Amino acid sequence: MIDIAQLRREPDVVKAALARRGVDGAVLDSIIALDVAHRQRLQEAEKLRADVKELSRQVGEARRTKDNETAEALTAQSRELGGAERAASEASDELAATLRGELLMIPNLPSEDTPDGADESDNVEVRRWWVGMDDGAPFPTYGEHQRMPHWEVAKELNILDLEAGVKLAGSMFPLYRGDGSRLLRALGAFALDQHRDAYEEIRPPSFALTETMMSTGHLPKSQDDMYAIERDDLWAIPTAEVPLTSMHRNEILDASVLPIRMTAQTPCFRREAGSAGRDTRGLLRVHEFDKVELFAYCLPEQAPAAHADILARAEGLLQKLGLTYRVLDLCAGDLGTSSARTVDLEVFSPGVDRWLEVSSVSWFRDFQARRANVRYRTESGTQFVHTVNGSALAWARIWAAVVETFRLEDGSVTIPDVLVPYLGGQTHLVAPTS
């Protein structure tokens, strides 16, 4: 949530920043007017409450002096003011709820470093990486055997059964089997082990309360993309970012313990509303996938280093896997609701001839912490922490890129060296013998 105090203090600055994200200034004018009306009603209710308290004191004094006539008159006046105070308080509460609802729909202010732009076509490519580039190797070329899409490779090797997934849960719910399932498990175990030096491993619930979902900014704005269990007021989490952000909800932390770093692998559930018929073959876009998330609560001055660390770890995993990737600096118009700055990593998948997003590394300033009410102590009081998070990594598309990139001419797939220990020494995925 944006800082309403900043909007009051610097309306033009906030309007200019959010205009970069396509937010109409008239929306912010409406919020400013709501805020003024709320504060007026709040002040009115507080004054009436003080007047009622003073009248109560006078009634008590009159009764002590046995001036019953004055006491009755003052009591009648107190009742009248009490009714006005209740009406003003109710009006103030209604305006506060409306104001909060409007603020919950406003995205974060983009950072100064975020490029201008309207949509993904304006994102800025920062760099690319591929095996051997440091030694002068050119951007890789791929043979015909690597140009087979992963769903066809998987069918030959019997490691992905999309039809069974449809039968069990509907379209876009993949079912991995055999070595495909083991490969998925190996990817997660490998990544978690790489982060254990600095990040506490968490295994959070796969479902979250509405309040938990609100804290990250996924609700209310993105509710159409979420799976809801309405009877229990629960939501299937779209990312481990959701529970990790609320680990210290409504707490005040000691600044000396920051940054607090956590990692978690969870299933992630997304409805992918509006994606029907678009990129839905194989594992390009699915309703459920596994992902390792990295997350940090930090002081404002620690945020750049926390962001850089998560990005470096995500890139390091891709390099150890030997996958070609590029780094994109997302423009203001393509940022997620809560983000002030986001850098994406996209892997090249030769079988589909596409760059596939596998990680978003984002800095949220205090936007999420303000919603979750996570603060830290300072000499002058408390301030909201900053939050940073990123995927390291999302496995469905990594799985796809691995089986395409490392497919050999005989149809088998070479397992990246770093995963071999997690597969009991197995070095190749091969078709089952009948």
HSE-CB at 357 with a 13 A cutoff on CA atoms is: 16
362 part of the active site: no
Of 21, 261, 270, 370, the catalytic one is: 270
Q: Beta strand pairing status for 386-394 and 381-384?
A: unpaired
Contact 110, 335 (CB under 8 A): yes
How many CB atoms within 10 Å of residue 237?
A: 27
Of 21, 285, 370, 371, the catalytic one is: 285
3-state SS of 112-160 is CCCCCCCCHHHCEEEEEECCCHHHCCCCCCCCHHHCCCHHHHHHHHCCE
CA gap 31, 8 in Å, rounded: 10
- The residue whose two tokens read 């490998």 is 190
SS3 label, residue 325: strand
Of 21, 41, 397, 407, the catalytic one is: 397
- 10 Å CB burial of residue 218 (0-12, 13-18, 19+) is buried
94 part of the active site: no
Count the residues in the chain: 434
Rg of the chain (C-alpha set): 28
Of 349, 359, 360, 391, the catalytic one is: 360
Q: What is the dihedral of CA 310, 312, 315, 317, to 10 degrees?
A: -80
Contact 325, 346 (CB under 8 A): yes
Of 86, 326, 357, 412, the catalytic one is: 357
**Torsion sign, CA atoms 162, 283, 419, 185:** negative
Contact 351, 154 (CB under 8 A): no
285 part of the active site: yes
SS3 label, residue 256: helix
Q: What is the dihedral of CA 39, 366, 24, 122, to 10 degrees?
A: 180
Which residues carry out catalysis?
270, 285, 357, 360, 397
